[in-house]
Amino acid sequence: MDKKKDITTIDDIRLLVDTFYGNVRRDQLIGPIFEGVIGNRWPEHLQKMYRFWQTALFGEHTYLGRPFPPHAELPVEKRHFDAWLGLWCSTVDRFFEGEKAEEAKWRGEKMAVMFLSKINFYRSSTSKPLT
Ligand code: HEM
């Protein structure tokens, strides 16, 4: 079997993001949370996530937002982030292998850990994240 390629182009990112969120939407645990917030705004969300990963992986600064605030008050805990990460890593592995593929999984995991710890921090404190 041919060796898989690495993530090298914006089309690779589109394939990864489109497939990942397709799987997210079908996931029984986290799908409904995404659907409830995003509703009919999926095209915009996907465009934003192409820019986010283009910025994270290629250093092309097309994403200028702040990733954490939309997650601050979501009804999520560790098992939701585990589900997110399982889908993210299996989607990366399905299409790609190489340095950027490893980096995509590593960054996804770091962000998931950071988001969960911030969510738990704000739940146990009276301070609010900047919006
Ligand atoms: C269970 C885990 C997660 C859930 C339920 C979740 C849910 C969401 C939802 C509903 C939005 C859309 C907000 C809106 O447009 O109204 C969003 C945006 C976003 N998510 Fe997540 N997310 C999760 C994990 C992650 C992780 C681990 C990352 C890091 C790679 C991430 C990165 C982002 C980014 C960059 C945005 C766009 C933020 C902006 O508006 O600029 N999410 N997420």
Domain ranges of the chain: 10-123
Residue 129 pLDDT more than 90?
Answer: no
The alpha carbon of 116 and the centre of ligand 1 are apart by a number of angstroms equal to 12
pLDDT-based confidence at residue 3 (cuts at 50, 70, 90): confident
The alpha carbon of 95 and the centre of ligand 1 are apart by a number of angstroms equal to 22
Residue 1 confidence (pLDDT):
60
Q: Which ligand 1 atom sits nearest the alpha carbon of residue 108?
A: 30
Predicted ipTM of the assembly: 0.98
Contact between 60 and 54 (Cβ < 8 Å): yes
pLDDT-based confidence at residue 128 (cuts at 50, 70, 90): confident
The alpha carbon of 71 and the centre of ligand 1 are apart by a number of angstroms equal to 6
Q: Give this prediction's pTM.
A: 0.95
Domain range 10-123, CATH class:
mainly alpha
Give the pLDDT mean for 49-56. Answer: 98
With H, G, I as helix, E, B as strand and everything else as coil, classify residue 3: coil
Residue 124 pLDDT more than 90?
Answer: no
Residue 126 confidence (pLDDT):
77
Contact between 72 and 119 (Cβ < 8 Å): yes
